[in-house]
Structure formats: structure tokens, C-alpha cells
A and B are shown apart, each in its own frame.
Chain A
Amino acid sequence: MRKNASTITVLLAAMLFGGIVLATGMGYLKISPLEVIHVLYSHLFLDSPPDGINEVFPFVILDVRLPRILIAVLVGGGLAVAGCVFQAILLNPLADPYTLGISSGAAFGAAVALILGIFGIILPAWFSVPLFAFLGAIITLYVVFAIASGDASLSSNTLILSGVIVSAILSAGIGFIKYLADEEVSVIIFWLMGSLVGSSWTDIILITLLFIPALTVIMFFARDLNIMSLGSQTSDTLGIDTPRVRKILLMSASLITAACVSVSGIIGFIGLIVPHLLRLLVGVDNRILLPACFIAGAILLLFADTITRAYLPAELPIGVLTSLIGGPFFCYIFRKKQLGAR
């Protein structure tokens, strides 16, 4: 472990906290950071509305901005951790939650939920979209594993290949649903491109309930994950029941991905780019890398979301923005790494 890794992680955590406070103040209605802290403090500890502050502020902060900001934090952090786990398990620094087809599964589920309305089955969207997305992700995970299970050791190639096969089929399915949806297609597309609009405290509770067990399991196996990132033969001979631990970790990371996708749609590149950057900053030891990824992913998505929410004249789907920032940046580090390796 690098000596300064913990310091960097603490600094990142401080940045995240500062970022949350600043972002809460930004938007159509400007609120100063001190006022934000005042409102939060009196809401949490005083039980009475704060004095001397515009009466609208508590409502704007607590019911409008904070849910969306916290969702950005959780989704960003979750996607980064999931990406980090997938990369270590699949021994592939270019893997991310999408390589296994999980996000396509979630997207397909969501598209099904949206299309049901057209066939007259009216379900409340706030409930059916996350639920179907989640089911889609879990079913996809199951199918991917079923296809890969011919290979008893669950090798990374087999898993990635079956992920690719399943996502190809699912993409066709989504295409078909878009065709069926006709006029409703814009709703699906906006969701497929990712959006944090309309995040609620219910979403936060849902995602937190799924995150706590999954993240605990992942941290529990963090040291095993270090060794597994050297290949299954090594981890087998160093005392790890590799197929079992790999399965547990993949399930946990997929659960996190599914939870993220079900509240925010598809947001790309966070899971790919954050673990990469953080490996350069804090090193490859997953015991420190995983928490650092969570914090950094949270900062990145919060930053991107604040730009689309507070600064851009029209709201851009957040997934488009992260890909626009992330894609070129990823090319840059990828090239740099290639040149450095020579």
C-alpha cells in the first residue's frame, strides 16, 4: 500500500463533503454554503426551521436538491466500486459494469416497464421502472452465468463473451421496444441515456438498502480480490476458493450496478475511468482502492450532474455528459499507459 494513500483518501472525502455543500447552493436559486450548512444543521439537530434564512431555502435544499445530489453521490460511488471489482475479477483493466451485459439487462427491463403502458397495463412509473430494471439486471446476470457455467472455473474470457452475447440480444430487444413505442420513444431514450431528474428520498432509501450489504461483502473480500487480480491459478494456490469468491463478488457488484441503473438509467464511463485514475493515485491495493473509488466516483458524478443541472441552459442527459467528458479522457490515459509501457 502506498504511504500517502490514506491521506489522499481523506482529502477526497473532504472534497466530496465540500462538493455536496457547494452543489446544494448552486442552481437557479443561489444559496451560500454557510446557509446550506445552517439549514442542514437545524434540520438534523434542532428540529425547528432556521431563523433569518429565506423560508423557501429549506424546501429547495431538502426536498429538491439534496435527493438528487445524494443520488448522484451514491450512483457515482456505486458504479466506480462495481467497475473496480469487475476489473480486478476479470483481470481486465478495461472491464466495467457494462461488459457483463448487466446494464443492458437493466435498460431492457426499464424499456419493458415503459412499453407496458402502451398495452394498457398501467403501473406507476416511479415503482415499475426501477423494479423492472432491477429484475432485468438480475435475470441478465443469471443468464450470463448460466451460459458461462459450462466452464466450471468461470474464466474471465467466458464471462465477458457471454456478457457480449447477451447484451447483443438485449440491444435488439430494446430496439424492438423503441419501434413499438413509437411516440413514447423519447421517454425510453432519455432513460437509456441516463438521468438523475426526479430523484426522490424513496430512491435514496432503496439504493442504500441494496448498497449496504453489497459493499460490506465487497470490503470483506478486498484482500482476496487483490490476489484474485493476479489470476485464478495464483489465488487457488494462495488459499482462496476462487470460483466461490468470484461468484459472490460478481453478484455483489452486479447488485450495486442494478441498483444504480434502476434509479438513474445508463451512466457510462464512471465505472471504467474512476478505478483507472485512482489506481494511479492510491495504488492497486483494493482495501484502500475500493473506498477511494467510491468517494472519487461520487465526486465525479456530482460534478457532472451539477454542471447539467445548474449551468447548462437546457438539461443534458447525464449519461451523455459523462461519456463526453469520460471518453476523451479515457483515450488520453489509455494512450499514456500504452506509451509508458513501452
Chain B
Amino acid sequence: MTSDIVFHVENCTFCYSNTDVLNTISFHLFPGKFYGLIGPNGSGKSTLINLLMGTLQPAEGKVYFRGKLLNTFSRRNLAQHLALVPQDIVIGFDFSVYDIVLMGRHPHVPRFCHPSKEDLAIVDRTLKLLDIEYLKERTVTHLSGGERQRVIVARALAQNTSVLMLDEATSNLDIEHTIEILRVLRSRIKTSGNTVIAAIHDLNLAAAFCDELLVLHDKRLYTIGPVQRVLTDTMLKEVFSVNAKVYQSKQHPRIEYDLVC
């Protein structure tokens, strides 16, 4: 096993009270790539992300992060390497947008210390990057779903980790902001060699932005590989039960669904 591998997942099984959610899954993830995690509802995408984040422990099997067992890292240490944009975000208290994004610096700021100039600069830069500077002073409870989602993405980016995971983080966003966020992620991968793992429902978007796809189906990893190879008519039929035609264009494949009613 080379230490170049970011994640090494070995025969992982996970169950919620006796019901299998994931069954003996194994794969490797490499740095500097955009991984799309696709699969029908309830195929275990969120569970897999939680396993990779270390917030759930596999019932069987092992998850290695950079060659070390994931559960040997401290929470704080993990938070310096892995960031997550969760699926549903409920914020019950009136924190300001700025405070929320600043929380992304929590794993980097020692206890009882104030955030350093650098921390604040990172927060400002991230707010600018996602075009949410104008929300800075607003309280999160008064934002629209889409605005809130961008704030949470900003928090995860401010965490400045080498791995970023998104659990259907663009599901509340309009197409403009979805593309904006996916672009920001792509440029992160290019400039800092980050790894992104994103559960995405829109397969055309996944095809456009991802390098590789992990397909979950029936509790198992159906396949993992480059978009061109994974995205096929057969896969769409077998995994998603839809009739569709995949057109291979120069840049990325494009899917046309058979929508006959």
C-alpha cells in the first residue's frame, strides 16, 4: 500500500440495527481527484461518507486514512484533515454567518485563544470566494435554504482540509450556485491537490465535474472508475432502473433520459 492513497477501504460492512446498509465494500481513493458518489436513494451514500469521516464505525472491515487506521486519529486531528458539508443543516440558534464560517477554524485554534489574523483572513477570503460577503452580519436563522447551504460550504472550505466531502450539499441550490460551488471545488483540486468526495444526485453534473465515480447499488459498490467508463446505458438501467442514452462527447459524457410517459 503506498502512502499516496488517501483512503483505503477494506471489506467494510455497516448495519443499522441488523439491517445491512453497506456490505463488504472495498476501494482506494487517490489525492487530487474529484470523486462523485452516486446511487439511488437509500443506497448508503450518506453512510459511506460517515464511515469515511469517522463519524460512524464499520461493523466489519477497516478504513485507512493515509495508511493509518481512521479510528486511531483524534477528532480534532481528523477535523484538520477532513471536512464535511452535511446533508441537512438545522441551526436553531442565531449565530451570524461570520461566526458560523469562523467555526470552520475551530480545529486550528488552540483552546482559550482568539483566532489569529490568518484565521480571520481565511474566513474573509472564503466568504469572498463564495460570494456571500454581503451575508456576513446576517443571522443564519434568517437565511434562505440556498444561502444557508453556501454558508456551510464556506465553513467547510475555511477548515482548509486536504479532503472535502459533500453529502448532497448542492441539493438545495439553484443551478447557478451549484455550478459555482462545483467550480470552486474543482479549482481547489487544481491549486492545492485536494481530494473531493461528493454525493451527487444530478448525473449530468456529476459527469461534468467528477474525475471518477463510485456507484453504490444494492448495499454494494457496483463499480468505481473514470466517468467515461462507469457512465453507461447498462449501468443506468441496472442501478437506477431508467432507460437512458449516454452520449460520449469530447469533454464529458452527457445523459439523455428516455422520458416517454
Interface set of A (CB-CB < 8 Å, partner B): 1, 88, 91-93, 220, 223, 226-227, 229-231, 233-234, 236-242, 279, 283-285, 341
A91 contacts B92, CB within 8 Å?
Answer: yes
CB distance from A293 to the nearest CB of B (A): 14
**Complexed CA–CA distance, A91 and B80 (Å):** 25
Identity of the chain B residue whose Cβ is nearest the Cβ of A2 in the assembled complex: B96
Known interface pairs A93-B93, A279-B93; A239-B78 also in contact (CB < 8 Å): yes
Which 5 A-B residue pairs are closest in the complex by CB-CB distance? A239-B79, A239-B107, A239-B76, A237-B84, A284-B93
Interface presence of B68 (CB below 8 A): no
A223 contacts B83, CB within 8 Å?
Answer: no
Give chain B residues whose Cβ lies under 8 Å from the Cβ of A1. Answer: 99
Interface presence of B90 (CB below 8 A): yes
Identity of the chain B residue whose Cβ is nearest the Cβ of A232 in the assembled complex: B55
A230 contacts B91, CB within 8 Å?
Answer: yes
Identity of the chain A residue whose Cβ is nearest the Cβ of B87 in the assembled complex: A233
A238 contacts B79, CB within 8 Å?
Answer: yes
Q: Which of chain B's residues 116-147 have a Cβ closer than 8 Å to chain A?
A: 141
- Which of B76, B78, B93, B111 is in CB contact (< 8 Å) with A223? B111
B106 contacts A238, CB within 8 Å?
Answer: yes
Give chain A residues whose Cβ lies under 8 Å from the Cβ of B83. Answer: 237
Identity of the chain A residue whose Cβ is nearest the Cβ of B104 in the assembled complex: A238
Interface presence of B53 (CB below 8 A): yes
CB distance from A248 to the nearest CB of B (A): 14
**Complexed CA–CA distance, A283 and B78 (Å):** 30
Known interface pairs A236-B75, A239-B75; A93-B92 also in contact (CB < 8 Å): yes
Give chain B residues whose Cβ lies under 8 Å from the Cβ of A239. Answer: 75-80, 106-107
Could you write out 5 A-B pairs with CB less than 8 Å apart? Answer: A93-B93, A230-B91, A230-B93, A237-B84, A239-B76
A236 contacts B106, CB within 8 Å?
Answer: no
Give chain A residues whose Cβ lies under 8 Å from the Cβ of B53. Answer: 236-237
Interface presence of B21 (CB below 8 A): no
**Complexed CA–CA distance, A284 and B99 (Å):** 10
**Complexed CA–CA distance, A227 and B104 (Å):** 10
A237 contacts B94, CB within 8 Å?
Answer: no
**Complexed CA–CA distance, A220 and B111 (Å):** 8
- Which of B78, B86, B141 is in CB contact (< 8 Å) with A234? B86
Give chain A residues whose Cβ lies under 8 Å from the Cβ of B95. Answer: 226, 230, 284-285
Contact bitstring B149-171, A, C-beta under 8 A = 1, else 0: 00000000001000000000000
Give chain A residues whose Cβ lies under 8 Å from the Cβ of B106. Answer: 223, 227, 238-240
CB distance from A90 to the nearest CB of B (A): 10
Give chain B residues whose Cβ lies under 8 Å from the Cβ of A236. Answer: 53, 55, 75
B92 contacts A238, CB within 8 Å?
Answer: no
Known interface pairs A237-B82, A285-B99; A231-B55 also in contact (CB < 8 Å): no
A284 contacts B78, CB within 8 Å?
Answer: no
Give chain B residues whose Cβ lies under 8 Å from the Cβ of A284. Answer: 93-95
**Complexed CA–CA distance, A134 and B28 (Å):** 54
Give chain B residues whose Cβ lies under 8 Å from the Cβ of A238. Answer: 79, 103-104, 106-107, 159
CB distance from B138 to the nearest CB of A (A): 13
Give chain A residues whose Cβ lies under 8 Å from the Cβ of B99. Answer: 1, 226, 285
- Which of B77, B79, B92, B93 is in CB contact (< 8 Å) with A237? B79
Known interface pairs A239-B78, A239-B106; A231-B90 also in contact (CB < 8 Å): yes
- Which of A93, A226, A229, A237 is in CB contact (< 8 Å) with B55? A237
CB distance from B246 to the nearest CB of A (A): 35
Q: Which of chain B's residues 56-88 have a Cβ closer than 8 Å to chain A?
A: 74-80, 82-84, 86
Give chain B residues whose Cβ lies under 8 Å from the Cβ of A93. Answer: 92-93
Give chain A residues whose Cβ lies under 8 Å from the Cβ of B92. Answer: 91-93, 229
Give chain B residues whose Cβ lies under 8 Å from the Cβ of A341. Answer: 141
Identity of the chain B residue whose Cβ is nearest the Cβ of A88 in the assembled complex: B93
Identity of the chain A residue whose Cβ is nearest the Cβ of B165 in the assembled complex: A237
B86 contacts A229, CB within 8 Å?
Answer: no
B75 contacts A233, CB within 8 Å?
Answer: no
Give chain A residues whose Cβ lies under 8 Å from the Cβ of B86. Answer: 233-234, 237
Identity of the chain A residue whose Cβ is nearest the Cβ of B92 in the assembled complex: A91
Kindly name the residue among A236, A241, A285 whose own CB sees the greatest number of chain B CB atoms within 10 A.
Answer: A236
**Complexed CA–CA distance, A341 and B107 (Å):** 32
- Which of B55, B74, B93, B103 is in CB contact (< 8 Å) with A233? B55
Identity of the chain A residue whose Cβ is nearest the Cβ of B79 in the assembled complex: A239
**Complexed CA–CA distance, A230 and B102 (Å):** 13
Give chain A residues whose Cβ lies under 8 Å from the Cβ of B82. Answer: 237
Identity of the chain A residue whose Cβ is nearest the Cβ of B106 in the assembled complex: A238
CB distance from A46 to the nearest CB of B (A): 38
Identity of the chain A residue whose Cβ is nearest the Cβ of B95 in the assembled complex: A284
**Complexed CA–CA distance, A239 and B110 (Å):** 12
**Complexed CA–CA distance, A31 and B90 (Å):** 53
Give chain A residues whose Cβ lies under 8 Å from the Cβ of B141. Answer: 341
CB distance from A235 to the nearest CB of B (A): 9
